[in-house]
């Protein structure tokens, strides 16, 4: 299955000024072709010891301000982002032979945005946000199920408040790299970068 090649930097007029426009197109195509979770992305952080740490999370919103995911703020990733508020993301869409890498600064979403997303989740997921002490040692599955049952009894209806330790983080990009598979490993790599979040984007093509 072939796909149109990405933008030719020899003709600057062919390049969107904002990388989010390219990302929108690619994510829409992935949503139509990927069998599961086209919004899945790896999230890389750095521990207090300077060791890299990576895990899969789900993109839950994006616009010109950045890319948003949600988490328990007391989890390992929450602790690492508090200490070093920078992150790298990677999307890999196997069916499209494409990858997007993002590097940027991390900030909290506001309470209204976090509340709106939390309230859009299913009841069981909202209860789970209260029951799970994410990243902490767990003696047994039974202990988790007991914690869930306790929260379920506490909130028998649909009115479940957002836990104070659960919210969203926005990655404000300083660099996007769009990668597309090419024959004979002659891949396309196109980078958008800026020195700060208020600066204009520059573009550059890289050797594969």
Phi-psi region of 186 (alpha: psi -120 to 50; beta: other; left: phi over 0): beta
**Cβ contact 75:134 at 8 Å:** yes
Q: How far is CA 58 from the centre of its chain?
A: 6
Q: Token match 């899945």: residue?
A: 40
Active site residues: 185
SS3 179: strand
CA distances from 184 to 47, 81, 180 (A): 38, 39, 12
Dihedral sign from CA coordinates of 134, 156, 169, 66: positive
**Cβ contact 185:208 at 8 Å:** yes
Number of residues that this document lists for the chain:
208
**Cβ contact 134:74 at 8 Å:** yes
**Cβ contact 102:184 at 8 Å:** no
């Amino acid at each position: 299955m072939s796909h149109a090649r990405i933008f030719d930097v020899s003709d600057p007029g062919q390049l969107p000024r904002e990388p989010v426009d390219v990302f929108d197109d690619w994510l829409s195509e992935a949503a139509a072709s990927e069998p599961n979770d086209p919004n899945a992305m790896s999230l890389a952080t750095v521990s207090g010891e300077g060791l890299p740490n990576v895990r899969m999370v789900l993109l839950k919103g994006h616009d010109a301000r950045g890319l948003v995911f949600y988490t328990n703020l007391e989890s390992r990733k929450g602790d690492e982002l508090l200490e070093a508020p920078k992150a790298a993301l990677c999307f890999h869409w196997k069916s499209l032979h494409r990858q997007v890498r993002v590097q940027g600064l991390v900030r909290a979403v506001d309470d209204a945005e976090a509340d709106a997303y939390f309230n859009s989740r299913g009841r069981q997921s909202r209860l789970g946000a209260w029951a799970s002490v994410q990243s902490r040692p767990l003696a047994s599955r039974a202990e988790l199920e007991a914690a869930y049952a306790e929260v379920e009894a506490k909130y028998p209806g649909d009115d479940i408040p957002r836990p104070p330790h659960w919210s969203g983080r926005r990655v404000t990009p300083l660099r996007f790299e769009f990668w597309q598979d090419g024959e004979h490993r002659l891949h396309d790599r196109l980078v958008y970068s800026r020195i700060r979040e208020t600066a204009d984007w520059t573009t550059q093509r890289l050797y594969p």
